[in-house]
Amino acid sequence: MKKIFISLLVLLSGTALFAQTIELTPIFGYTVAGKVDNYGRYFNVKDNALYGGLLSVQFDDFMFAEISYERNDTKGSTFLQTVDLAVEHYQFGLLREFSAGTVVPFTKVSFGTSRYVQKSGGDERAWLFSAGIGAGAKLLLSDRVGLRLFTNLMLPLEFDGAGFWCGIGSGGSGCSGGVNFNVPIVHWDLGAGLIIRLQN
């Protein structure tokens, strides 16, 4: 998954040559996590600080393509033990601004993967497909520097199964299909970042 993330980063960097605006944003904040409850057995992920970075490339008026990395070093606990845990989110998404000026509200959606790494008491690792939705505002202090305030919901997804079926009846025939996912845990992020703008 890291290779895919790096490939997207290289692709986005190439696109940046033709961009109207490029924003580099180191971020820092706090993640409110939750508890995975699996048939009466739980795994609780502790709330903790997050850090990471964003590369945003403007490709149209008010529209940015964005690649992001977030991490928090936290603890996870079960009935039996508490372990050190690293949670990472690798995401690619789209950001939509809603105005021009000094204060710029925005929303975003993203897709990618989340990685969970046990750092003590074992070496368990898991990768999950994930999606994110977020909102916030950019406070532009100058043409080159600004602040980004944001909130995100990061939603790791577990694949439950897929189906495809066809049928013939009195109303005609047809086919249908579906894929089922569930969200085992939700990460709610609150944070801020320093925007460094590069403009053509």
Q: Look at the pTM and tell me if it is higher than 0.95.
A: no
Residue 17 CA neighbour count, 13 Å, CB half: 4
Spatial contact of 110 and 131, defined as CB atoms under 8 Å apart? yes
Structure tokens at 141: 């202090």
pLDDT at position 179, please?
47
pLDDT at position 35, please?
76
Please state, in angstroms and rounded to a whole number, the distance separating the CA atoms of residues 168 and 86: 51
Q: What's the Rg (C-alpha) of the chain?
A: 20
Report, as an integer, the average pLDDT of 81-91.
Answer: 91
| Encoded amino acid at 35, one letter | K
Q: Is the pLDDT of residue 102 over 90?
A: yes
Please state, in angstroms and rounded to a whole number, the distance separating the CA atoms of residues 17 and 108: 23
Please state, in angstroms and rounded to a whole number, the distance separating the CA atoms of residues 158 and 91: 17
Query: Model confidence over 37-68: pLDDT tens digits?
Result: 665 566 788 999 999 999 999 999 999 999 99
Query: Model confidence over 139-196: pLDDT tens digits?
Result: 999 989 999 999 999 988 876 655 555 556 566 665 555 545 566 788 999 999 999 9
Q: Which residue has the higher pLDDT, 200 or 51?
A: 51
Instruction: List the domains of the chain with CATH numbers.
Output: 2-16+24-160+181-199 (2.40.160.20)
pLDDT at position 29, please?
97
Query: Model confidence over 133-147: pLDDT tens digits?
Result: 999 999 999 989 999
pLDDT at position 118, please?
87
Spatial contact of 54 and 67, defined as CB atoms under 8 Å apart? yes
Report, as an integer, the average pLDDT of 76-102.
Answer: 90
